[in-house]
A = this chain, B = another copy of it.
Amino acid sequence: MAKDEPWLEQIAWGPDGLVPAIAQDTRSGRVLMVAWMNRESLRLTRETGRAVYWSRSRRRLWHKGEESGHIQRVCAIRLDCDGDVVLLEVEQEGGIACHTGRERCFYRQLDEAGRWIETDPILKDPEAIYGGGR
């Protein structure tokens, strides 16, 4: 597979075979989240046009939105100068990227007193997103 896809080999995969991937909303420009990718997840992301990550906790491919429906349509795939970070420009289905029901995972901001303040509202109750059995 790798031989047929030299673009994947131009990436400086970490010793664990992973690189971090940033998802940025194309419309708002907001940085939504950071997750991890291996070769297969990035290959599938390109092939399907939807973000596929590698879940380190579950040790399996994670088709973003597979439970929540909050898929990410990928408009562009970018790579940094060192080749070890991927940037996805995405359209976020439902306007919710975070498992807490917020638009983005970066919903906390440090205030002047040195406290992390939650600045973003919960748009949808996680129980309603994932079901109460979770």
- Footprint of B on A, CB under 8 Å? 5-7, 10, 20, 22, 24, 29-31, 33-34, 46, 76-82, 85, 87, 98-100, 102, 105-110, 114-116
Contact = CB atoms under 8 A, between A and B. Distances in A.
A20 B82 CA distance: 14
A107 B81 contact: yes
A85 B82 CA distance: 19
A5 B113 CA distance: 10
Nearest to A5: B114
A80 B34 contact: yes
Contact of A108 (B29, B78, B106): B78
B7 A115 contact: yes
A82 B105 contact: yes
Nearest to A46: B110
Nearest to A80: B105
A79 B34 contact: no
Nearest to A6: B114
Contacts of A78: 106-110
A29 to B, nearest CB: 3
